[in-house]
Structure 1
């Protein structure tokens, strides 16, 4: 089972589950925990191969978005969490949407930060380059390059440094397994863009997320259950760049979709 950590406020409060992105760990939510645990029960997970989820058991499994999503559902079953509000960042937003496709009854709402919904030409070029050289180039060189392209500005330095530091904890083999997933991202996301589940969804994006924000803006007006908040002076990792705005926006959104009202009393 994945490594996880819980902060339980009480049986009358709903659960919020945080899903990090590729190369990160649950530690990237350090600017969210204090505020969220005052309002909800909180579950943090380390995805397979990340953080403290480094069991050999995962090496025997396939690596697909569906398989990785099943890992999260397994933790929910273990903790007897029937459904929850999900908050994700970057590639973690794809996993949340995958969980919603697989088991919509388990997802109360989705807060998707730095959401990845389409890979543009620049990102596809980087992935093609990465796949061509990953066999003989140290993966941290690739990861540093990706971090600089996705988070180029000086004010993104904290986010960039955090993700590079977390990525150093991955082994080369693990990085390659996750990197192979990127080759299937665009066809996978096309299906998600074309079909909208009746689940309240909030996209929180940085105005300076030049690689992924345009795709969200292009389709958000066609969606019935989805809305977008773009944060100024903020890049891809909006929960780190502007944590106060991210927290306030996400908590307000989740409270609108509670089923147990004791959380707001």
Structure 2
């Protein structure tokens, strides 16, 4: 089972589950935790191969279905019937896929720096990474991608966090997670075509040039979705603009409790 940690709030029955992205760990939520535990019960998880889950051996092939089921297994173990899910970057795909594994678990979704479709540029980068992984250490690839996704000076903190966390990932785990890229396009296409009746808030930085345009198009088509664009902010909006991210998230959860 994944490594997890819970924080309980005696006056609240609501649970919030925080899901990090690829290469990260539950520590990326350090700017959310203090505010969230004032209002809700919180569950942190480290996805397979990441953080304190990195020493657990997984003998099956990686797929978004299996990665999502890992999180559902933790909820069942803790005894959480349903919760509000908050994710960032690739964690937003995991959360959306949890709705396919067991949609009864999800009361609402808050998706920061969401990946809803890969544009031509990001697909090209994936192909380049697929070639580079054969000749370069994976941390070099992560570093290159971090500077492409978060190129500005004010993205430095989230960029450094992204790279620092990725250093804890093993080369073998990187390669296993990279196999998931083959699933992304068909999976995202399916998510775009099939909306689920779950209240969803997208929080995106106005400088998240790689993924914001696709989210804008998606929200116009999905009636259960809303979008808030944070100014002067890049891809990892929970780190770059935590006050706004926390305020929006807490208000949204309370409105859908």
- State whether TM-score is above 0.5: yes
Report whether the alignment pairs 1:46 with 2:46.
yes
Report whether the alignment pairs 1:5 with 2:11.
no
Q: Is the 8 A contact 2:12 2:41 kept in 1?
A: no
Equivalences for residues 177-256 of structure 1 within 5 A? 177-256=176-255
User: How far apart in 2 are the matches of 1:230 and 1:25?
Assistant: 24
Give the CA RMSD over aligned residues.
0.9
User: How far apart in 1 are the matches of 2:120 and 2:140?
Assistant: 21
Q: Which residue of 2 aligns with 1:98?
A: 97
Report the alpha carbon displacement of residue 133 of structure 1 after superposing the two structures with TM.
2.0
More divergent stretch after superposition (119-128 vs 246-255): 119-128
User: How far apart in 1 are the matches of 2:26 and 2:46?
Assistant: 5
Q: Deviations over 1:218-262 (max 9, x none)?
A: 12112110000000000000000000000000110010000xxxx
Q: Is the 8 A contact 1:127 1:183 kept in 2?
A: no
Q: Is the 8 A contact 1:35 1:247 kept in 2?
A: yes
Q: Which residue of 1 aligns with 2:25?
A: 25
Report the alpha carbon displacement of residue 182 of structure 1 after superposing the two structures with TM.
1.5
Report the alpha carbon displacement of residue 12 of structure 1 after superposing the two structures with TM.
4.0
DSSP-derived class of the 2:51 partner: coil
Report the alpha carbon displacement of residue 55 of structure 1 after superposing the two structures with TM.
3.2
DSSP-derived class of the 1:42 partner: strand
Q: Deviations over 1:179-202 (max 9, x none)?
A: 121122111100001111100000
Q: Deviations over 1:115-159 (max 9, x none)?
A: 000111111111101111212211011100110111111100000
Alignment gaps of 5+ in structure 2: none
User: How far apart in 1 are the matches of 2:132 and 2:36?
Assistant: 41
Q: Deviations over 1:35-84 (max 9, x none)?
A: 000000000000000000023432x1220000001100110011000110
Alignment gaps of 5+ in structure 1: 259-265
Q: Is the 8 A contact 2:48 2:56 kept in 1?
A: no
Q: Deviations over 1:74-120 (max 9, x none)?
A: 10011000110000000000000000122111100000000000111
Q: Which residue of 2 aligns with 1:72?
A: 71
Q: Which residue of 2 aligns with 1:169?
A: 168
DSSP-derived class of the 2:110 partner: strand
Q: Is the 8 A contact 2:49 2:56 kept in 1?
A: no
TM-score (normalised: structure 2): 0.98
Q: Which residue of 2 aligns with 1:57?
A: 57
Q: Which residue of 2 aligns with 1:149?
A: 148
TM-score (normalised: structure 1): 0.95
Aligned residue pair count: 257
DSSP-derived class of the 1:131 partner: helix
User: How far apart in 2 are the matches of 1:57 and 1:128?
Assistant: 28
